[in-house]
């Protein structure tokens, strides 16, 4: 512990000129493209390099285990993003993001169904202008993936690479990308302890787990531990039948929304942000992920706007509306459901409230 206390919090400071070039570029084509944005959008994006800006602060480093310190990688400015030959963008035929749930997300079917609808609605606001579609949830057995019990944490884990292979086979024709989400922990290869998520940009597929976002994952009382005496063979998928799922809280929903949009951001070609505090910063651990803001810095916002083509004001309005709208997208209709199915669970948005204030301030700048 002593080590951590001796680490003074550091900020990653860039000069105004550096940030301005990262946002606007010096390439005449990209400069004129920037000048064609509407005045309100430019006013907001310019906050990236204004010293009196209170909306987009610098990245702060709290320990040596933080991402930027432990994973040096070249930064990506707007021009590099724009001219990246491997970058994929949605086309008129491929404008849908598909979400595939693997296993249950909640302790009951109703919670699971509502949870995935909340995530769908959030992604539709974040990637404003694209369609988000839900695929019928599947049990782990359908994916035929390998799985194991983690030696350190004693919990079940499924193989991320095998799931990506499954998703690639299932990818619909009109999909820009297909992402799997699960409450089961992931591992990328035998030598690794775990991974929060994995994506293949070329195939437009990703898999993300929210298992470690529950409040009790690291505690000794965590109920997802498996008795080692059960020797599991690679075909005994029944071990997942009554798999422990953490309670759905507002913080779990916030973390899930952030992870999902960060990872889908990578599929659009956005690399880890090293310019300003931003959702696209890398994170090595939960504490660092929690410090990331809910939304993008101006440099990454310009990248996503370029890829998707939305109006920044309308996108902010959609995000605010999602936070304010406490029920899921649509109340359930149909007589075949039992009475208990007709409850509409209130969407737990408490943890989003402080971010709502921030988005409203951004919106005010665009509308001024």
Q: Is residue 338 included in any domain, yes or no? A: no
Residue 285: CB atoms within 10 A of its CB come to 13
pTM attached to this predicted model: 0.90
Give catalytic residue positions. Answer: 263
**Higher pLDDT pick, 329 / 94:** 94
Q: How far apart are CA 68 and CA 72, in angstroms?
A: 6
User: Do 217 and 138 sit in the same domain of this protein?
Assistant: yes
Q: Is residue 125 included in any domain, yes or no? A: yes
User: Do 72 and 93 sit in the same domain of this protein?
Assistant: no
**Is there a contact between 97 and 181 (Cβ–Cβ < 8 Å)?**
no
Question: By residue range, what is the domain housing residue 146?
Answer: 88-268
At residue 218, the pLDDT reads: 66
At residue 241, the pLDDT reads: 81
Q: How far apart are CA 110 and CA 345, in angstroms?
A: 8
Q: Which of 280, 286, 283 is nearest to 265 (CA)?
A: 280
Q: Is residue 259 included in any domain, yes or no? A: yes
At residue 4, the pLDDT reads: 46
The total number of structural domains that make up the chain: 2
Q: Tokens 């507002």 correspond to what residue?
A: 250
Q: How far apart are CA 337 and CA 365, in angstroms?
A: 46
- By CB atoms closer than 10 A (0-12, 13-18, 19+), residue 9 is exposed
With vertex at residue 361, the alpha carbon angle to CA 356 and CA 362, rounded to the nearest 5 degrees, is: 95
Exposure of 200 in the CB half-sphere (CA atoms within 13 A): 16
* Reported confidence tier of residue 334, pLDDT bands at 50, 70, 90: very low
**Is there a contact between 188 and 195 (Cβ–Cβ < 8 Å)?**
yes
User: Do 99 and 213 sit in the same domain of this protein?
Assistant: yes
Q: Which of 121, 36, 37 is nearest to 366 (CA)?
A: 37
Q: What is the pLDDT of residues 121-179, one digit of tens each?
A: 999 999 999 999 999 999 999 999 999 998 888 889 999 999 999 999 999 999 999 99
How long a stretch of residues is the chain?
368
Q: Report the percentage of the chain scoring pLDDT > 90.
A: 64
Q: Is residue 1 included in any domain, yes or no? A: no
Q: Is residue 297 included in any domain, yes or no? A: yes
């Amino acid at each position: 512990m002593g080590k951590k206390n001796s680490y003074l919090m550091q900020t990653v400071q860039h000069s105004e000129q550096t940030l301005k070039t990262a946002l606007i570029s010096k390439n005449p084509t990209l400069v004129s493209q920037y000048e064609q944005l509407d005045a309100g959008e430019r006013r907001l994006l310019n906050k990236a390099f204004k010293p009196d800006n209170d909306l987009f602060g610098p990245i702060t480093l709290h320990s040596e285990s933080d991402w930027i310190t432990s994973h040096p990688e070249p930064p990506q400015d707007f021009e590099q993003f724009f001219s990246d030959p491997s970058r994929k963008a949605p086309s008129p035929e491929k404008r849908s993001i598909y979400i595939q749930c693997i296993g249950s997300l909640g302790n009951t079917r109703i919670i699971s169904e509502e949870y995935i609808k909340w995530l769908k609605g959030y992604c539709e606001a974040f990637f404003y202008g694209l369609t988000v579609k839900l695929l019928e949830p599947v049990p782990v057995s359908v994916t035929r993936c390998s799985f194991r019990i983690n030696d350190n944490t004693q919990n079940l884990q499924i193989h991320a690479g095998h799931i990506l292979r499954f998703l690639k086979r299932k990818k619909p024709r009109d999909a820009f990308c297909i992402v799997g989400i699960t409450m089961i922990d992931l591992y990328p290869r035998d030598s690794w302890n775990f991974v929060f998520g994995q994506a293949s940009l070329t195939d437009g597929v990703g898999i993300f787990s929210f298992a470690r976002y529950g409040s009790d994952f690291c505690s000794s009382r965590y109920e997802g531990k498996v008795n080692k005496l059960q020797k599991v063979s690679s075909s005994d998928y029944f071990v997942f039948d009554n798999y422990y799922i953490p309670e759905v809280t507002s913080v779990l929903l916030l973390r899930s929304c952030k992870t999902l949009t960060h990872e889908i951001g990578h599929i659009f070609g956005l690399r880890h942000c090293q310019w300003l505090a931003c959702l696209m910063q890398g994170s090595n651990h939960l504490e660092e992920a929690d410090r990331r803001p809910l939304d993008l810095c101006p440099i990454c916002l310009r990248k996503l706007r370029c890829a998707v083509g939305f109006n920044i004001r309308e996108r902010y309005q959609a995000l605010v509306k999602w936070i304010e709208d406490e029920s899921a997208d649509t109340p359930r209709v149909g007589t075949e459901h039992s009475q208990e199915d007709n409850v509409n669970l209130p969407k737990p948005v408490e943890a989003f409230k402080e971010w709502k204030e921030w988005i409203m301030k951004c919106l005010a700048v665009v509308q001024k």
